[in-house]
Structure 1
Amino acid sequence: MPSLLRTEAEERASLVDVRSYDIALDLTKGDELFGSATTIRFGCTTPHASTFVELRPQEVHSITLNGNPIDVSDVKDGRLWLDHLEADNELVVDATMAYVRDGEGMHRAIDPQDGQAYLYGSPASSTAGKIYACFEQPDLKAPYNVRVKAPQEWAVIANGAAREAADGWRTFETTRPIATYFFTVCAGPFAVQQAEHDGIPLGIYVRATLADQLAEQADEIFTVTQQGFDYYHRVYGIRYPWGKYDQVFVPEFNMGAMENPGCVTLRDEFVFQGHASRAEHLLRATVIIHEMAHMWFGDLVTMQWWDDLWLNESFAEFLAQQGTAEATEFSEAWVDFSAIRKNWGYAADRAPSTHPIAGTPAPDANSALENLDGITYPKGASALRQLAAYIGEDVFLSGVRKYLQTHEFGNASLQDFLYAMSEASGQNIEDWAQAWLLTPGTDVLEISTDGDRVVINRSTPEQFPAQRPHVTDIAAYRHGVQVARADVRIDSDRTEVHGLKLGQAPNLLLPNESDRTWAIVALDETTQAKLPDELPHIEDATVRGVVWSSLLNGLALGTVNPALLLDTFEAAWPVEDVDPLLEAVATMTTGLLPGRFLTVAHTPAALDRLAATGIRVFEAAAASDSRRLTAARLVVATSADIQLLREWLAGRGLPAFLTDDDQFRWSVIGRLASLGAMEIAEIEDWRTKDPSVSGVLRSLSARTRIPSEETKAWAWSQLTEANDNPSSHELGAVARSFFGATEQEITRPYVERFFTELPKLSSKLGDMVLHLLAADGYPTTVVEESTVELAERALHGDLPAGVRRSFVDATSRLREQLRSQERFG
């Protein structure tokens, strides 16, 4: 199917004025198909002109334009061409559509626990035509009138509030103008909790088998939601414009969440089925606040075209951290952002696919999805944080309000945003925007000293020269105590710091100690060597986060020995007292070291040290439940002690809150499987005991992890020989678990097959799913030149765009691992 070109979108936007959609969906036609009847009313600026709508049906029954029939065979390659347009037009399309399993269209999922079906619309950037006939581009917004026919016992949720029900049909209130990719309908036997805040009706929906968990967690979700509304009403000065606010936690969702006005969809893993750490509660709160930010940035004011996707996501990311930190109990949100989100962004910005925050070429609609990455999200958020520091937070906020008020219910571009900021600040910020928003790359900050003279050296990637100003700070530490600090503005490659009185030489001299800017801090080897002794004593969690970030990025840059990271982890991790930082560091360390930056030969000993460190925290008498959970997860991910794992599987030696926790139990099962200490039959027995969605996915993962030729052959067939309608989540469970940290002798024969067979799945899977499988399944643990050679050979072939990008970036990371292993052994 052709992807909409930007040139086509611009031509169509100059021709067409969409006035309304009337959509009727019949969800009672069986397990595979649904009815879709659409009436579009639109104006045309040029009499007798031609244009097209997107339509990807299973079957078309009838089409009329201004009362005149159109041959249904005119629908080709996902487009219906319309000729002889008038000043006022009415297009009526009656079609049958197919449900999807890859999350790109009207997704239909079956809960294996009770066999019930759940449906939700997920149009993404280019699949709304699988649900209804439409002009599928972000700048052709229109009001929607929606009717849905569904079983009487089902809940049906749409963008507008429910108005009436008659003859099996539910009718919903007319929406304000929205873009096509925000349209959704969710339907199924959902359980619901309802409330109201500040005149806004609130609803939370989950599949029926999660009703008990929702009842336990609804108060927290509602509280965060209410705090978010109060925060945004105060910040924006514009009331929430979409009537009611429903949050629907749906199964098999490809993304974290989607900001459909009035009907936000979120992956249902956010309704916790086992005991959750504080970091997981923080993540859920941040996602809720993030999607709510979109009600203004993205929904109220929508980008003109996909090259300004950052106007949606960077703002939502920035405001989600700030709103969560200021308005909810999770005041450590920015620390978590520093430790997790920014490191994701730094990795994206040094990858071959790096791109500017704004103005990234998006020649077609599908290419927009490729840039939903760590640059659009955390780097963009960091740039906005810098802009607020650069022009002043009050001025920044004034500009934001002006921007929203000027373009509400319409569309805007980068230039519209810059105009609002310049008008509010009285400054020309074009140079700032050129350096920060329109030039890729991350600056590296290093310190040089000569007695009391301290200089911050700023280096910029050679291929992307820029003069990025940084409003930041620097601080000195000795035995964990801050002995000096100064604010600093970096405007050149060498900035001498004034007002920083060091006295005795510090153990740690740290630029960007409050993490206000976007830059990697490079510490010299002498300072690095002191970190195992110094880091455990530093009281400021933000500073600790910056240090951890320096170490983790130093692995990729080849400036930090993996052995030093392991030494620092053993010394500092057990005394970390901010739970999200505790979990983030454990997750990243175990994700980067074993079988990646550490050789296969060094991996078992490193895993033993990580597991022993986890045991120290787990057995600490004063540890909270959240800390013990994080520590137990670390032990399970790294321990080779089969006896201990078997005891934990049986519920022995665990705190009461974990003894019957299915999610934790599956982690133990997965680890035993990877050690070759769990047979397929036992895994299947546990799956029978836990028939939930999570049980099915985790059993697939555990079985895939068994280090035997037979199970790897079975898993590969599950991935590459799937039927015509596979579940994207089941495929993902297999892909993420296939290439382990130590079983290269078994998995090496599949490396070439990964590069040759995975791209062929494009005939069965949507672009987003295939892109994720290529990224998540990449054999980064087979750290050999032969893997690079196979990847480069594949890149010379014809690959789907998303797969190509995944291969390019993952191969770059693999080269980083190879360089590190060559340097440090």
Structure 2
Amino acid sequence: MSSVNAAANLTREETAERASCISPRSIRVELDLSGAPEQTRTGFPSITTLEFGATTETTWIDFIGEEVSRVIVNGQERDVRWDGARIAIDALSAQNEVRIEAVAAYSRSGEGMHRFHDPVDGETYLYTQYEPADSRRVMACFEQPDMKASYTFEVTAPAGWHLLSNQAAGRVREGIGVQTVEFAPTLPISSYITAVVAGPYARIDGEWSRADQHIALGVLCRASLAEHLEADEILEVTRQGLDFYSDAFAYPYPWGKYDQIFVPEYNLGAMENPGLVTFTEAYISRGAATDAQRGARANTILHEMAHMWFGDLVTMRWWDDLWLKESFADYMGSHVSAAVTRFTDAWARFANTRKAWAYKQDQLPTTHPIVADIPDLEAAKLNFDGITYAKGAAVLKQLVAFVGEEAFFEGARRYFAAHAFGNTTLDDLLDKLEEVSGRDLHAWSRAWLQTSGVSALRLETDAEGHRVLLQDAGAAGPRPHRLRVGLYDLRGGRLALRERIELDVTQARTEIEIPDVDLVLLNDDDLTYAKARLDERSLQTVEQSLSTLEDDLARGLVWSALWNATRDGELPAQRYLDIVRRHAMAETNVGLLGAVLGNAAFAVRHYVADEAREGQARAWTDTTWASLQSADAGSDAQLTWARAFASAAAFGGHTDDVRAILDGDAPRGLVVDADLRWLLLTARATTGDASAEDIVAECDRDDTAAGRTAEIRALASRPDPDVRAAAWAAAWNDLVLSNDHLDATIDGFRAGGRRDLIAAYDEEYFTRIREAWETRSIEIARRLVLGLFPASHSTALADAWLDENVDAPGALRRLVIECRDELARDLRVRAAQGALTHG
């Protein structure tokens, strides 16, 4: 945080007390952004007028910025009492009007009002990002989700810019070189989902209409990216989603318009601001893109759209119940993608990407129940994790199987009707689902939402020869699973489904009748949340025949089972890599292919035994090169293999082939766009085959925001001790680095896994992180702590820091504990390789 972090870190108890005695009604925010193009201007005027009821004489209003110049309470000027985060207010009446005049700061970290200057056309672009608590960096407010109000924004900015907020523009006043737009008041919403966008963005308009509703649609991005904006497909997915949700939730879309804007240097995938959804520009491809990338974008569009109801219309009371919106949105993104868009493989991708994130998070010592204990805002910031999103979504899929899809949606409809524009907790939702399903969901909740850890399912044969399904859920104890077991035979050299057995598993041991088959796939159809192990016969079958399994989801579940076993040290990394080499080339689902290639590369760098790593790295580069050459010309698979090859080449091998592609001799059909060129050039830089002059020349060819970020990464990747030292110093000390540029600097410092170049900084890391946490914004500090954690051969330094810093902020300790645990896993899995291979 900043030097005011103690005041900025609001707690659950104090915000609950404030909500009990303060009742916001309307908030007017006036922002003057007319000076934004002048880069020397660090701040902008922000005037907020808050109308609220009170049953107390004193409270505080949240604001973090450069200056608070005036505080006027009920027409009376008051002394400014501001500690950098909270403005103290007293002598309140039953009804109040408080006006606060301040100067807010432009951001380069993606928190608050982010300002970006486009090197392509010299234009300036602004957007806001608040969740969970950064609206106070733009306006004075009650920074907590359960104090909803109607917001009216008035924004002054340069003439010719697009100005957007949650509602449509109303009154417009034009001056010399400037414009002032007053937007219509919002319906009651929380501060963190208000939004303002300003800049010369390119815009494509559309409309969604039904018999009783006409919603204006807009898709926007920076002007220099407009030629790459696939607006037609984005609008098509948007209309499909609005059709689905309007029917499924039986509650009309309430926010008046639906703008979606892709913004630079964004910290998230997207944010559900009602009527003005913001997305990362990573969803706009400057060159070639795979259908898996487009499917991921569609999923995110539908995820954010679900929030228009789950999160915006009905909002959690405090961040403990963050899952009430995020788990539902994550589930709905895949459900609606599969149901109404062309991306029918959404659940297969979910099983191998989102659930992989959940399994990883749920095995950390810092794992937590889906309904988490969130005492303060720092904890809330770190709770946007694999448990809250992906595990929650997977558990909701189990809930749908448990109560039935119609009961699930009817419960949701009653929930919206009962709590529209209000705030809720877990019990409010469970009550509605119980009404329609007749099931005891509080017991289900205790087992699934209020415990932590991932269950593991495996099939064994007991002493009497009976097949037994074993469930290990650790301290959580057995959970109720509704699942299917798939039975597959090899017929004519191909795996074919014989039948699926559906059953309820509630105990640690469940006897099950399994006929003699070649592959038993536990949790077929992926109905429940559990790591499903393959028995030895099934493992041998998929080693030889995985690619003959036609169903994408079933194949994806096998890939998932193999990866989980590798991460847990039960399957030797070498055996996993052999299976990837044998079957990945035949993987027809590009989403699955991308996940598998990423996992294989990770296994080489983290799980292969130390003495074998260099050889395996070169073998992996060989595999990616051979597969790139064999892939169908111009296919998504070819592009996916090309990216994998570029990443692998940074660890050695095929330097001549990398150079040849950059010189124009690429495999037939491969689109070598600017982004792929940077991946290849960075590989050359990492191995010492590209000079600073080569890198600068490439940036001259691609003098864009993405090009400049890639230049920073490539320059820092060169295998020179002085270069890595400069990257280390810049990461910690260069306070003007944007969030993206910091990431690029960190990536360069760690490039190629060159511990010989960076191990000397291990001890210094632990002397720096606490100061960074106390003096930098939480977003920047988090990137430093995670990105620079040393991948050493021992956890001793981390253990010592944790022992010596028991009083460190809980959120910082959590990050260090998680990094330490991942390192310990790496070391443990590597050490087990010999025994696994020869056991």
Q: TM-score normalised by the shorter chain: which range applies?
A: over 0.9
Matched residue of 1:631: which SS? helix
Spell out, residue by residue over 1:451-507, the C-alpha distance to the aligned partner (whole angstroms, 9 max, x if none).
98432100112xx32331111011223332223431111011111224x4x24xx33
Q: Give distance in 1, aligned partners of 2:478 and 2:247.
A: 35
Pairing 1:169-188 to 2, within 5 Å after superposition = 169-188=180-199
Instruction: Show structure 1 runs of 5+ residues with no match.
Output: none
Name the counterpart of 2:704.
692
2:625 maps to amino acid: I
The answer (yes or no) to whether the contact 2:161–2:198 under 8 Å persists in 1 is yes
Pairing 1:711-790 to 2, within 5 Å after superposition = 711-723=723-735, 725-762=736-773, 764-780=775-791, 782=792, 784-785=793-794, 788-790=795-797
Name the counterpart of 1:28.
34
Corresponding position: 1:93 with 2:100:
yes
Per-residue deviation at 1:741? 4.7
Per-residue deviation at 1:163? 1.5
Matched residue of 2:829: which SS? helix
The match for 2:303 among 290, 303, 308 is: 290
Corresponding position: 1:415 with 2:430:
no
Matched residue of 2:158: which SS? coil
1:519 maps to amino acid: A
The match for 1:574 among 576, 579, 585 is: 585
Matched residue of 2:524: which SS? coil
The answer (yes or no) to whether the contact 2:367–2:453 under 8 Å persists in 1 is yes
The answer (yes or no) to whether the contact 1:443–1:460 under 8 Å persists in 2 is yes
Name the counterpart of 2:57.
49
The answer (yes or no) to whether the contact 2:609–2:831 under 8 Å persists in 1 is no
Name the counterpart of 1:19.
25
The match for 2:331 among 289, 312, 318 is: 318
1:40 maps to amino acid: L
Q: Give distance in 2, aligned partners of 1:615 and 1:171.
A: 57
Matched residue of 1:166: which SS? strand
The answer (yes or no) to whether the contact 1:148–1:170 under 8 Å persists in 2 is yes
The answer (yes or no) to whether the contact 2:65–2:84 under 8 Å persists in 1 is no
Matched residue of 2:46: which SS? strand
1:263 maps to amino acid: L
Corresponding position: 1:672 with 2:715:
no
Q: Give distance in 2, aligned partners of 1:702 and 1:310.
A: 38
Matched residue of 1:748: which SS? helix
Per-residue deviation at 1:817? 1.1
Q: Give distance in 1, aligned partners of 2:569 and 2:279.
A: 38
The match for 2:485 among 465, 471, 474 is: 474
Corresponding position: 1:820 with 2:829:
yes
The CA RMSD measured in Å over matched residues stands at: 1.7
What percent identity do the matched residue pairs reach? Answer: 35
Corresponding position: 1:807 with 2:816:
yes
Corresponding position: 1:38 with 2:48:
yes
Q: Give distance in 1, aligned partners of 2:655 and 2:828.
A: 34
The answer (yes or no) to whether the contact 1:617–1:627 under 8 Å persists in 2 is no
Per-residue deviation at 1:61? 2.5
Q: Give distance in 1, aligned partners of 2:292 and 2:749.
A: 27
Spell out, residue by residue over 1:604-625, the C-alpha distance to the aligned partner (whole angstroms, 9 max, x if none).
3223333333334333364652
Q: Give distance in 1, aligned partners of 2:775 and 2:196.
A: 24
The match for 2:639 among 625, 629, 640 is: 629
The match for 1:110 among 113, 117, 125 is: 117
The answer (yes or no) to whether the contact 1:314–1:381 under 8 Å persists in 2 is yes
The answer (yes or no) to whether the contact 2:717–2:747 under 8 Å persists in 1 is no
Distance 1:656 1:649, change over 3 A: same
Name the counterpart of 2:837.
none
Spell out, residue by residue over 1:12-56, the C-alpha distance to the aligned partner (whole angstroms, 9 max, x if none).
111011000111100023431111111110011x2x521111022
The answer (yes or no) to whether the contact 1:259–1:292 under 8 Å persists in 2 is yes
Q: Give distance in 2, aligned partners of 1:765 and 1:328.
A: 42
The answer (yes or no) to whether the contact 2:128–2:197 under 8 Å persists in 1 is yes
The match for 2:150 among 133, 143, 165 is: 143
Corresponding position: 1:304 with 2:311:
no
Q: Give distance in 1, aligned partners of 2:161 and 2:571.
A: 56
The answer (yes or no) to whether the contact 2:458–2:533 under 8 Å persists in 1 is yes
Pairing 1:183-332 to 2, within 5 Å after superposition = 183-198=194-209, 199-214=214-229, 217-332=230-345
Per-residue deviation at 1:341? 0.7
The answer (yes or no) to whether the contact 1:54–1:135 under 8 Å persists in 2 is yes
Q: Give distance in 2, aligned partners of 1:78 and 1:684.
A: 42
Per-residue deviation at 1:405? 1.0
Residues 645-654 or 348-357, more deviating: 645-654
The answer (yes or no) to whether the contact 2:482–2:505 under 8 Å persists in 1 is yes
Residues 434-443 or 617-626, more deviating: 617-626
Pairing 1:239-638 to 2, within 5 Å after superposition = 239-358=252-371, 360-449=372-461, 453-461=466-474, 464-479=475-490, 480-498=495-513, 500=514, 502-503=515-516, 506-525=517-536, 527-590=538-601, 592-620=602-630, 622=632, 625-638=635-648
Matched residue of 2:630: which SS? coil
1:810 maps to amino acid: C
Corresponding position: 1:68 with 2:76:
yes
Per-residue deviation at 1:701? 1.5
The answer (yes or no) to whether the contact 1:670–1:701 under 8 Å persists in 2 is yes
Residues 668-677 or 597-606, more deviating: 597-606
Q: Give distance in 2, aligned partners of 1:284 and 1:239.
A: 24
Matched residue of 2:471: which SS? strand
The answer (yes or no) to whether the contact 1:669–1:683 under 8 Å persists in 2 is yes
Matched residue of 2:476: which SS? coil
Q: Give distance in 2, aligned partners of 1:657 and 1:118.
A: 33
Q: Give distance in 2, aligned partners of 1:266 and 1:673.
A: 31
Name the counterpart of 1:130.
137
Per-residue deviation at 1:757? 2.3
Spell out, residue by residue over 1:797-824, the C-alpha distance to the aligned partner (whole angstroms, 9 max, x if none).
2544443222211211111111111111
Spell out, residue by residue over 1:499-555, the C-alpha distance to the aligned partner (whole angstroms, 9 max, x if none).
x4x24xx33222102111100012345543443203122122212211211121122
Matched residue of 1:40: which SS? strand
Q: Give distance in 2, aligned partners of 1:364 and 1:350.
A: 23
The answer (yes or no) to whether the contact 1:442–1:518 under 8 Å persists in 2 is yes
2:215 maps to amino acid: I
Q: Give distance in 2, aligned partners of 1:674 and 1:478.
A: 47
| TM-score, normalised via structure 2 length | 0.93
